[in-house]
Chains A and B, each alone.
Chain A
Amino acid sequence: ELKVEQNPLFLSMQEGKNYTIYCNYSTTSDRLYWYRQDPGKSLESLFVLLSNGAVKQEGRLMASLDTKARLSTLHITAAVHDLSATYFCAVAPTNKLIFGTGTLLAVQP
């Protein structure tokens, strides 16, 4: 059974600090996605990573992919309150997305 695991499940961090969310998956996938979800809202696409070693950055978020280790990371730099949300990674070994468990990020002032 394909598994996608994220850790930590919950992250409370102070503004200005850096941290990394990890996403491990158990089968090969040529694509890995990161999504953001605010409470009661839909999912917003953040990054699509397509190849080994891919790195993408948008603002304070940077995502990377290591297909050999089956690991993706989402790094947060100098967190701000606006980044508080739940972050999901997802892989697509076929057409459907298999989501990770999600990481609830709470940035404290």
Chain B
Amino acid sequence: NAGVMQNPRHLVRRRGQEARLRCSPMKGHSHVYWYRQLPEEGLKFMVYLQKENIIDESGMPKERFSAEFPKEGPSILRIQQVVRGDSAAYFCASSPLAGGLQDTQYFGPGTRLTVL
């Protein structure tokens, strides 16, 4: 059973370009979470999605950031018109259940975004 997959692992963009980060959850998992880790900091929640639904986007910046989890295919985190402050590691996690006491979120390897 493959783990959570993310691609690309490293992404370099110039200011003003768009960044698209992809996440394929573990097989059988229908809940996806995105977190951002700035250099030398902990992880901060961004958004929680189920198939075709955004459940909680309270951690998403109001502008330039969007996320989706279509019926088919991976979850996508999209950052438009990137700025240097967007440079960070973006981690995706998946879980089989939402809120279950035995639920654990399993993390992907992350995408390290560098904005020049």
User: Which residues of A are in contact with B by a Cβ distance under 8 Å?
Assistant: 30-31, 33, 35, 40-45, 48, 50, 88, 90, 94-102
Contact = CB atoms under 8 A, between A and B. Distances in A.
Interface of B: 31, 33, 35, 41-45, 48, 55-56, 58-59, 91, 93, 98-99, 101-110, 112
Given A35-B107, A96-B48, A100-B42, 16 more contacts: A31-B101, A40-B112, A41-B109, A41-B110, A45-B105, A45-B107, A48-B102, A48-B104, A94-B56, A95-B31, A95-B48, A95-B98, A96-B33, A96-B56, A98-B45, A102-B42
Contacts of B48: 95-96
A95 B91 contact: no
B104 A45 contact: yes
B71 to A, nearest CB: 21
Given A95-B48, A96-B59, A97-B33, A42 B108 contact: yes
